[in-house]
Structure 1
Amino acid sequence: MLTARNGGSRGLLGGSLDHDGKSLPFAAAKDTLVGQWTSSTALLPRLAIVARPDAPAWSGLWLPDRWPRQWEPLSVTRTPSSIRLDAGAFRVSATLSQDQLTGQLTQTGTTVAWTARRLPDHVDL
């Protein structure tokens, strides 16, 4: 049986896992990069970032316009200090702070300021 509760901080979950008469500590943390994002930039209005448990990296998808027709692949690279998003035709270099990405979008040599906010989850940890 898994017994868990809010770990005292937003995004943390902790408790114990009881299995075969043994109680093991359990802890989980929310990856704030993972989720759906929206930005005010028409070039990159909506994106989704996922982290698969069987892969060491993140991957993403983006919608080319506000009317969802088809998701396009988005390369996601995360370093300790930055996030890089690459869709081929454009690139974003940003920093992550809570539920906000802030940085620059570059397309064919032109660079503009770019921000995005993470959409709320349906489960609040």
Structure 2
Amino acid sequence: MNKYKYILMLLPLTAFAEPSELPFTLQPDQCVALEQGQSCFIDIKVKWQTKTKGDYCLFVDEVKTQCWQATKIGLWENELEMKTDVAFSLKDSKHQMIYSGKVQYAWIYKKRKNKAVRWRMF
């Protein structure tokens, strides 16, 4: 009976605790192609949050993609085609990096060296 008292005492603390949000998230963080070298298509979602309001820009492989003015949070959703890993970064108005992350490119089958048909009838 004593062990159940401790469990009941901890329940209210966990029930009312706010879930901690990560300040920078990429979803999904991996794209899988069927064969090595093929394009991979994903719907990417980037969410970010800072402590102070400011002007921020999202860069995809060092290319400015979207900017936000006087805000603390941002959301960017888009379709992405990739054949290699793609780097994401959030920078402030002074071009200092605030957050960074990467979506990894993966494949199931290795690229075949010879694309010739490998079967014979006779």
What's the TM-score bracket when you normalise by the shorter of the two chains? under 0.3
Bigger helix share: 2
The structure that has the greater radius of gyration is 2
Q: Specify which structure has the bigger relative contact order, considering alpha-carbon pairs within 8 angstroms and separated by 6 or more residues.
A: 2
